[in-house]
Chains A and B, each alone.
Chain A
């Protein structure tokens, strides 16, 4: 048994002992391991013999997927391999054998990358899949934004003026009001469960088992099936949940051509990705008239809002690989899956002047003109990525034209429009908040408490 020898074992084969550092292997061995790790990380998986049987999504898996172990992960795995090599040396393995075994035990780099990405992205993605709720107060520059759980959002700003409803779940849209024709008293194999459920809908079943098996989910995975008479929509949700638990990745249902398909959400995302040009002209015009923002900064704010709120993890600017947005003139080009396009379209709809008019009417003079001494400035500063509020303050502009922010100190805002105030506050807090989202609210707008 080579695994995990006692920490007290005496070193052999030149394995060093250096106290707390513990895994210092020496220059030569360190270099050899580093080379092996680099080869492992860059190793292109050879095309399997059964490549012709693979579905297109796997056969054409982009090369970037193979290499997307970021530096932190690479460092962590290197530390693991180094410690493992040291243990193997302590157990009497030769240098080459120890390195080879440590590398082999890491598994495939592309597989590990996918698993890690799923592990880090899953919670937020799942949350967004179920609920995406935002209040739109007074357009982009006066927007209080909340995100939270399924129900009971308890912001202090009263009921939201507009709410994005996640499109009916795929389970509900696929199953309608159908009920399960027959259930099971015990656990059944996933493949059989799917046949049974699809039979209740008079559909066939389509599952790319080789794809799911890549992630450890086989046809004979046992799942619980509810009793006959259970709504099929609930049954599909339950099955999806059980499969997600086993996979550690979101799955979705799709129904086309008389077939009920169970697939990874990332596969459906890639299937439905399209490039769409959104016309921002009316929104930019409104922002210019109301807030004095130029076209470019206004467009940048729109992009920031969209990429921070609509499935934020998936945008390239936030480390994702599913969606990207670029503005040219008054057009915003977005490449994204259908579910993200839905959210983008809704958000832009809320920013249209017609949708904004009611809320804007509630604002008092300062938004239409520069802020003066004595005016109340209400600022919410949050972190873009986490949406956690850093601070929410009310400050009247002092005779010297400044407001005082905690930690930051006095900032001159007299004579500025809302957009300009947001700009100077953003710059001022940049040292304290990593991704500042600064919102100046109107005097009759109550601050919205983050519901998370």
Chain B
């Protein structure tokens, strides 16, 4: 357990990706970067979420392999919104401790649009087809190449 009085170290905050050396790590990061939208759309397929909860779900579902930082997450969400793949609305959050003297805080909720759902289905199909093809190819290559 880290010492809570100290700022978190890089290891504590992340990166949460497994250590992959050299070009392997770079290739892995490039592949992941191209899948961020798939992760986010997939999370939203389960129901509306706000930004932090999306990041948290992605992190949990990838068993800590993927952490969407705010610098990645919010531009991505805003682009998905601009493309009509997700819609968003604001909700005022009033905590139990709010004494009425403070203005309610706002939280932006994202939900998958019909267009986004179609895109998710397309991306999922394409990803599975691609994964299967590459895996099949590599396994045959490995057998053929000894």
Contacts and interface: CB of A to CB of B under 8 A. Distances in A.
Interface of A: 1-4, 13, 16, 18-19, 21-24, 26-27, 30, 72-73, 75-80, 82-84, 87-88, 91-94, 97, 100-101, 104-107, 111-112, 115-116, 118-124, 222, 246, 248
29 contacts: A2-B13, A3-B14, A3-B59, A4-B59, A18-B97, A24-B97, A24-B98, A75-B105, A77-B74, A78-B105, A79-B51, A83-B52, A88-B8, A92-B1, A92-B4, A93-B4, A97-B8, A101-B8, A104-B7, A105-B69, A112-B70, A112-B74, A116-B78, A119-B78, A119-B79, A119-B82, A120-B81, A123-B82, A222-B30
A76 B108 contact: yes
Interface of B: 1-2, 4-8, 12-14, 16, 30, 33, 50-53, 55-56, 59-60, 64, 67, 69-71, 74-76, 78-79, 81-83, 90, 93-98, 102, 105-108
Given A72-B108, A76-B107, A94-B4, 9 more contacts: A2-B8, A26-B97, A75-B105, A93-B4, A97-B4, A101-B8, A105-B13, A119-B75, A123-B82
Given A75-B108, A84-B52, A101-B7, A2 B12 contact: yes
A77 B106 contact: no
A122 B12 contact: no
A112 B53 CA distance: 19
A93 B67 CA distance: 19
B16 A3 contact: yes
B6 to A, nearest CB: 7
Contacts of B95: 16, 18, 21, 23-24
Contacts of A87: 56
> Majority SS of interface residues in chain B?
mixed
A23 B75 contact: no
Contacts of B105: 23, 75, 78-79, 82
B70 A1 contact: no
Contact of B50 (A2, A79, A124, A246): A79
Nearest to B72: A115
A93 B74 CA distance: 25
Contacts of A120: 78-79, 81-82
Contacts of A112: 70-71, 74-75
Contact of B70 (A91, A107, A122, A124): A107
Nearest to B106: A75
Given A1-B64, A21-B96, A105-B13, A97 B74 contact: no
Contacts of A118: 75
A100 B12 CA distance: 14
